[in-house]
Amino acid sequence: MTGSACIAADTIARNAARHRLADDEPVWLFGYGSLIYKVDFPYLQRCPASVTGYQRRFWQGSEDHRGTPGRPGRVVTLVEEPGTRCGGMAYQVAARVFRALDVREKNGYLRLWTRLWLAGQKEVDGLIYIAGPDNPAFLGPAPDAELARQIGVACGPSGSNSDYLLHLARALRDLDEYDPHVFALEKALLRARKSGIAAPEANPLEAEISDLEFF
């Protein structure tokens, strides 16, 4: 990929220019990764929700939250896959909230409009953050064992990469969402820890998860 074809790693300015929204305008946002369980922004209402035609994948590198430029972690993005569904949480927020969210999601994520299905309710238009294959932090697919090993050793300003994966898996379970990719990586991470490949760490989720009945 040439430099000009590549989008800038820091997407704050691009996202701010993408959508004309009045500060008070209520807008739906679909969260499918850390936005499900790390809710550090104000919202008007929230509701379990899903999008179709996308799958959640640990294919995006994280150099700012769960890793460093020298040792990037892996975080989720959505990849297009016709006929599939991805569950998460939708939040209705005042549009001004996107100023802070754009900073949080700056490492390669662009906002896109899509249709959201709010559980038991209705279909609405909402925004999602997607890190596409044309962003410099994109890492793409790898075997589960390799993804788990990378997640097991990475750590950044927002905490360990294992913590991101374990929290996401727990949040999906709480939502009754079955995601084979996420749960397979959770298992692979715990296996890697047991065999000493991934660094064990004091994590309160650990004890809870070691006794889990997986879906």
Integer Cα distance of 200 and 187 in angstroms: 14
Cα-only R_g, the chain: 17
* Catalytic hit among 63, 105, 177, 186: 105
Tokens 């020298």 locate to 70
Q: For the segment 102-141, give every residue that binds ligand SIN (CB under 6 A).
A: 105, 129
Size of the site for ligand SIN (CB under 6 A): 9
Q: Which of 34, 55, 107, 150 binds ligand SIN (CB under 6 A)?
A: 34
Residue 105: active-site member: yes
Gap between the Cα atoms of 142 and 58, Å rounded = 9
Tokens found for residue 57: 């994948």
Query: Look-up: residue for tokens 């998860």?
Result: 209
Q: Does 177 bind ligand SIN (CB under 6 A)?
A: no
Contact pick of 11, 15, 27, 33 for ligand SIN (by CB under 6 A): 33
For the window 47-76, what string marks contact with ligand SIN as x by the rule CB under 6 A? ----------------------------xx
Choose between 54 and 193: whose C-beta lies nearer to ligand SIN: 54
CA angle, corner 206, sides to 149 and 169, nearest 5?
A: 70
Instruction: List helix spans (H) across the chain.
Output: 12-18, 34-37, 98-104, 144-153, 161-174, 180-194, 204-210
Mark the segment that binds ligand SIN (CB under 6 A) among 2-10, 27-35, 173-181, 191-199. Answer: 27-35
Write out the catalytic residue numbers.
105
Q: Give the binding site for ligand SIN (CB under 6 A).
A: 31-35, 75-76, 105, 129
